[in-house]
Structure 1
């Protein structure tokens, strides 16, 4: 099987491949990192760099632990032991204990920093260091089971961090951006994103018109729900399409990428007999200033970008037959997320591109902006 077949095969979407985007969950959500798996990709944990090569070909959801290998620091697949029964027994045994007699004066731990470095030089694993810290703690046995578990987790995060290999999809991408870079997605929460898709009636075979000025998160979420059917068309005023860098984090196959298209609004609303020169004049006349796009985490140092195969790119020009159909029948729904511009100036331009009785949804982080749009729409309905 060729690499192209492997990447675009639906039966392998649960397994990572070289060049795919992943979400690295370090220490159970303490740190979230988008990265692209390549032979030379690395992730920095603490003060050490760990190659991501071992993660290629592993199922999403796999857990990795840090180790000191022969060639330096490395990530190895962790075996999760089921110790639920042991925890229950420990809880029942220690339920009468409390921490009132314990004094936190930093003298309970007899293992020094030099001792820990010595263990590392001898090749001790992170888990072995944690067990050594527990064994050399004068107060560990007198703590309640809850405090013991809290102490163990604290030491594990420092000396034995775990990395969970997560698959990027609409929810995980939205949650990560909202936690790390909320301004870049217009402070859009995942529950609000779900409402946009629901109120927009996004379903199979839909042709959804979007104004996505939040980095491509909305475009990717719509395309994910369409699943390779229908179209998601990104429209824009002026001659510069908005950035949709986040779309590539979704790991869409060629079939879905071909369904993600773009089309300037002036061309969408122009009569069929308008030639390309006249369209350019109209486009320049209707151009508006677009805010400069901020750099995306997917293109930062933590993200390694590499092309391993020639695939269909999302955001290509919409096909002529689809444009003709949209001009005649309109789109099945409209979703707008444009937090940095005058939303009403966009709404009044794109609404005529909808089919009759088609739903439309407008997102903005401030209620006042939405009230202005609502009052304007009510005014038009009243005097039309």
Structure 2
């Protein structure tokens, strides 16, 4: 009888057993996969650099003539430049490193006469003749090259010089939105040391963690001349040093801790181009690198299966490649099924409100390999843009973004500030 009841139970249960089997067959097959995001940017230490010369018939800046340099900078950054004291053997004008101070300690831009920051330097490669129009170039080579040293009234051979600040006038003008103009005027004509100035070079270093990445971008006092400074100091030729600093100028940016979203059955959970910021936390990610608010919101959405925020192990932000040091990376294991999608977002750290994110409707979570092609760089439209890495309104540089309200767009390249590397040379995303 007991056996009979078992049979009857089995017969009665058979339809539901079939149904259960069908449900199991219909359940999606889950698999484990790992997403890895890397900052692969080969970073550069200089945010801006360039060459300058007189735009007249001659590139030389004669007494009474002036040139201007336009640039952007944030608090803590400095402008360095160098130009030859033309009627000398190997002297040059330059501010003391790290360069001309551009902001007061309270963050107010410096304006007006900054000539007191200009110095006269001896390159240490030629024996100094008496300065003047009759100086023979290139002159006599030093028996052994000496270190670069300041000329403060008298050189090593006893020749005398007026103060650099009387030979050259340097005037700063603040144009707003972290933009400056420096005007260099040759005022040597009415002094005891009239001289032309040669074409020159200028540079501004990135700042990270409150410190300049390169505080000696053109030369270093107490050390031998290098990288083409001798060409400027002896011949007024800015091509060699100009080429060198150009190779040192480019992009430097960390990535904020990466937001990773696994979802199904919904589209574009983070943003949509052409649409204004939704007010759900993307603004904080794009402006401050803070993904917590957006993550909290996404967890409430039907169709979102998992949300992660991935900080770098030792630095929180994902640092770029710096010299021989590899860039940071983060990884997350995911349980995925057919139809699942992945979206990511991370702030372009030295910007006002740019962010990297998956394009369109994210990445098929079941694909394998390098999926960096699915990533774009976007402008969140909530903060006025400044030169990336040189804006005093960038949170990554201690600033507060100036508000605007525009639709989310893909950042053009080239853009109004610079030319960026391709996306795949800044961020790499792989699924394995």
Tell me the TM-score normalized by structure 2. 0.22
Greater radius of gyration (CA): 2
If asked which structure has higher relative contact order (CA below 8 Å, sep 6+), I would say 2
Task: Point out the structure with the larger helix share.
Answer: 1
Task: Point out the structure with the larger strand share.
Answer: 2
